[in-house]
């Protein structure tokens, strides 16, 4: 593409994005796209074009195929899954990163990429209230960060077995501890890191769905007595289903005593730590070995940007350092080479998304958003608590409210059908979007509050449609 053609097209694309965001602000789009499975694929040609197509026809396809074919995560009445960062400042950072077309392989391959990342991770460390004992690196996702944590834990426990026989040379199995409420990425990481599902213990939770530290202690002792080697515990600050908070302090005490690696998955909840009053929720975090906080969830930064902090980066380097001759430079002893702190070699300039966000928005606005969203979730929780026929299933420490509408004549599977019915009807209406989920074998509806545009009036409008829809379904 010629530069002038790029300039014209880029302006047109930005104009289209602005129009899209205006439509979202005006609440003028159905939150869930009206698309049937296979419909978009059928509208695309079966094979790639041999000859260039003009930009006008390509851009012409944007509306019908792309803008109308995606879930509108930034819609103010999107209450599904979790808040996903889509701040416009971070969009600019992403565009610049891609526009540079470079790759971070070593400090020398892109000095600003490395140094801005180091400074951003230090800014974020301060903003999250973490001490200077932590060093940070940006990973693509929390899933990768948790895999990296388990790889480092595995290597620390085995005296760096990867340099010799690997796990296959180990006499006793290594064990990972977490709860049934942990994100699925923990099980995936344990499988990928070679622990095996049989060696992942599901530690019992209390009535708030938080890990019981005494149960962790008992599991560790039982495993040691059976000749196994306790290796890592993953605690969650803000579980995906209900935002339950594992007691990090009590878990850290067990982990410290037993020399077990403690990884804190604060992918969602970590953003709340921007506001000092929420830091009590991860009290004890300073005693962990690693932490992940997704800037790309509730912090306005566009996917992908996971903040991964470790107490001792040497573990990362010992496990993941590669030093082929073509990557060596004269300054390697003076600089950080982030390829040694994660799995991929080539790195994007993700720090630009944080840099643009923090500079254009400022930390105070990010804190204000956390407080607004938690306040809105608490407001909804109060409405649910006060309404006949409705029940809240879990505490609301952050921004997610877990609800059930229970008509007096429904129980068991009939109640499940009712829950899925009213939730699907709201989603199909396009007015709002919610995700149903399962807790203790029963379906319920998660209301995840907190897109950038979601205000109290949106939560109130959601609550109104929840009541009318659920009651209509109950009568049907
Ligand atoms: C607690 C928790 N951990 C991990 C993840 C996975 O995040 P990612 O998509 O960045 O891998 C999620 C995403 O929902 C989450 O809620």
- C-alpha 154/C-alpha 189 separation (Å) is 11
267 Cβ below 6 A of ligand 1: yes
Is the CB of 469 within 6 Å of ligand 1? no
What is the value of pTM for the model shown?
Answer: 0.95
pLDDT digits (tens, 9 = 90+) for 340-394: 999 999 999 999 999 999 999 999 999 999 999 999 999 999 999 999 999 999 9
> Does residue 318 surpass a pLDDT of 90?
no
Ligand 1 atom nearest residue 141's Cα: 10
Whether 376 is in the pocket of ligand 1, judged by its Cβ within 6 Å, is: no
Q: Output the pLDDT for position 330.
A: 87
Residues 142-169 have a mean pLDDT of: 93
The verdict on the CB of residue 306 being under 6 Å from ligand 1 is: yes
Instruction: Give the position, in ligand 1's atom list, of the atom nearest the Cα of 269.
Output: 1
Query: To test the ligand 1 pocket, which listed residue (144, 182, 240) has its Cβ within 8 A of the most ligand atoms?
Result: 240
- Of 12-16, 53-57, 277-281, 396-400, where does mean pLDDT reach its minimum? 53-57
The CB of 294 under 6 Å from ligand 1? The reply is yes
Is the C-beta atom of 142 inside 6 A of ligand 1?
yes
Is the omega angle on the peptide bond into residue 304 within 30 degrees of 0, that is, cis? yes
User: Is the minimum distance from the CB of 427 to ligand 1 under 6 angstroms?
Assistant: no
What is the average per-residue pLDDT within 402-408? 95
**pLDDT band for position 54 (50/70/90)?**
confident
145 lines ligand 1 (CB under 6 A): no
Q: Residue 250 — pLDDT band, cuts 50, 70, 90?
A: very high
CA of 330 to the centre of ligand 1 (A): 38
- Does residue 326 have a pLDDT over 90? no
pLDDT of residue 465: 98
Q: Which atom of ligand 1 is found nearest the CA of 82? A: 14
Q: Is the CB of 242 under 6 A from ligand 1?
A: no
Query: Residue 458 above 90 pLDDT?
Result: yes
55-63 own/partner pairs: CB under 8 Å, 24+ apart: 55/5, 55/8, 55/9, 55/12, 59/9, 59/12, 59/13, 59/16, 62/13, 62/16
- For residue 266 and ligand 1, the question of a CB distance below 6 A is answered with no
3-state secondary structure of 438: strand
CA of 6 to the centre of ligand 1 (A): 35
Q: What is the mean pLDDT of the chain?
A: 95
Mutate to test the pocket of ligand 1, among 82, 239, 294 (most ligand atoms within 8 A of CB): 294
pLDDT bin (cut points 50, 70, 90) of residue 114 is very high
H or E segment at 157? helix 142-157
The torsion angles phi and psi of 292, rounded to 5 degrees, stand at -125, 135
321 has a pLDDT exceeding 90: no
Is the pLDDT confidence value at 239 over 90? yes
Strands 306-310 and 290-294: antiparallel
The helix, strand and coil proportions of the chain, stated in percent and rounded to the nearest 5, come to 50, 15, 35
Cβ(82) to ligand 1 under 6 A?
Answer: yes
Please return the burial class of 375, using the count of CB atoms within 10 Å of its CB with bins 0-12, 13-18 and 19+: middle
């Amino acid at each position: 593409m010629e530069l002038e053609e790029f300039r014209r097209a880029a302006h047109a694309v930005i104009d289209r994005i602005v129009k899209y965001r205006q439509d979202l602000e005006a609440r003028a789009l159905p939150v869930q796209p009206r698309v049937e499975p296979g419909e978009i694929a059928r509208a695309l040609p079966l094979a790639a074009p041999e000859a260039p197509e003009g930009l006008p026809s390509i851009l012409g396809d944007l509306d019908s195929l792309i803008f109308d074919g995606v879930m509108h995560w930034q819609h103010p009445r999107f209450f599904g899954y979790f808040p996903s960062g889509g701040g416009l400042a971070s969009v600019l950072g992403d565009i610049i990163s891609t526009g540079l077309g470079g790759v971070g392989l070593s400090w020398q391959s892109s000095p600003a990429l490395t140094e801005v990342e180091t400074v951003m991770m230090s800014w974020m460390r301060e903003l999250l209230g973490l001490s200077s004992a932590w060093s940070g690196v940006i990973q693509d996702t929390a899933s990768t960060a948790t895999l990296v944590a388990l790889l480092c834990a595995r290597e620390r426990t085995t005296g760096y077995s990867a340099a010799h026989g690997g796990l296959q040379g180990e006499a006793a199995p290594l064990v990972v501890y977490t709860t049934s409420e942990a994100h699925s990425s923990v099980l995936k990481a344990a499988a990928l890191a070679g622990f095996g599902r049989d060696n992942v213990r599901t530690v019992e939770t209390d009535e708030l769905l938080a890990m019981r530290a005494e149960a962790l202690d008992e599991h560790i002792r039982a495993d040691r007595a059976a000749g196994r080697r306790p290796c890592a515990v993953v605690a969650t600050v803000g579980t995906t289903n209900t935002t339950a908070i594992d007691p990090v302090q009590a878990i850290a005490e067990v982990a410290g005593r037993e020399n077990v690696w403690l990884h804190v998955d604060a992918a969602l909840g970590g953003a709340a730590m921007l506001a000092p009053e929420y830091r009590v929720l991860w009290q004890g975090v300073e005693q962990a070995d690693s932490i992940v906080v997704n800037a790309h969830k509730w912090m306005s930064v566009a996917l992908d940007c996971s903040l991964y902090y470790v107490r001792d980066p040497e573990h990362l380097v010992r496990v993941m350092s590669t030093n082929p001759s073509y990557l060596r430079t004269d300054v390697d002893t003076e600089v950080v080479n982030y390829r040694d702190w994660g799995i991929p070699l080539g790195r994007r300039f993700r720090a630009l998304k944080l840099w643009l966000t923090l500079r254009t928005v400022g930390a105070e606005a990010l804190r204000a958003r956390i407080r607004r969203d938690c306040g809105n979730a608490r407001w909804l929780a109060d409405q649910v608590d006060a309404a006949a026929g409705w029940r809240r299933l879990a505490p609301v420490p952050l921004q997610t409210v877990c609800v059930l509408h229970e008509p007096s004549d429904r129980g068991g599977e009939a109640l499940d059908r009712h829950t899925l019915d009213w939730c699907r009807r709201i989603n199909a209406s396009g007015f709002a979007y919610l995700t149903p989920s399962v807790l203790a074998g029963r379906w319920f509806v998660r209301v995840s509050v907190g897109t950038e545009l979601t205000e109290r009036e949106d939560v109130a409008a959601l609550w109104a449609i929840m009541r009318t829809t659920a009651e209509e379904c109950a009568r049907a």
